[in-house]
Structure formats: C-alpha cells, structure tokens
C-alpha cells in the first residue's frame, strides 16, 4: 500500500490544515517514505525486549557525585552585606502578618 494524494488531503482536512499543492506533493512523498521504512522494519521479525539491556541514556555517560555533606560556604558575610536590612546573621524583612 502506498500513500496517495487523496490520503494526504483527507488527513490534512481532519487536522484542519490548509496545504497548497506543493505541500500536498511533498507530504505525499514524505509520508510514503515513512510508511515504506516502517514496513521494512517488519522484515526484522518480532523482537524480544528482554534481549535489550535497560539504559537511561543512549551514550555511556557517568555522572560522578560528590558526597552530600554540609560545609560552610565562607560567603555568609559577603551575602549579608548586600541585604537591604539585617540583624546579626539574619535578613530583616517587613512584617506581613499581624
């Protein structure tokens, strides 16, 4: 089965797409190529997904993580200097709750 012009026109109408003649011709060719490719995959026969190892990424990527341990940033004073208001080691903000 090949994709014909009438099939593309019908799907475009269902999708409410206003395609011109050049777009209809191009879409007809492209969709036919996609369907032909998908049919060629049938030649592989049924595939058992159990034979495919589980992966989270297509490339072999490792993400080394550092230990999650609390430590001082050493920038407390520099950050507090920029605060519009402060008291000791804390920001001061306007009261919003009565």
Q: What is the pLDDT of residues 35-89, one digit of tens each?
A: 999 988 888 888 788 887 777 777 777 777 888 888 888 788 888 888 888 888 8
Q: Is the pLDDT of residue 5 over 90?
A: yes
Question: What string of DSSP letters covers the chain?
Answer: ----HHHHHHHHHHTT----HHHHHHHHHHHHHHHHHHHHHGGG----GGGSPP-SSSS--------------S-HHHHHHTSSSEETTEE-------
Q: Is the pLDDT of residue 18 over 80?
A: yes
Q: Show the domains of the chain with their CATH numbers.
A: 5-45 (1.10.20)
Q: Is the pLDDT of residue 21 over 70?
A: yes
Write down the pLDDT at residue 1.
Answer: 66
């Amino acid at each position: 089965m090949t994709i014909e012009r009438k099939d593309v026109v019908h799907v475009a109408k269902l999708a409410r797409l206003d395609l011109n003649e050049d777009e209809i011709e191009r879409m007809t060719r492209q969709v036919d190529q996609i369907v032909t490719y998908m049919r060629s995959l049938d030649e592989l026969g049924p595939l058992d997904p159990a034979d495919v190892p589980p992966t989270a990424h297509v490339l072999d990527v490792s993400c080394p993580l550092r230990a999650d341990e609390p430590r001082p940033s050493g920038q407390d004073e520099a950050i507090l200097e920029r605060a519009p208001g402060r008291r000791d080691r804390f920001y001061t903000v306007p009261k919003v709750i009565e």
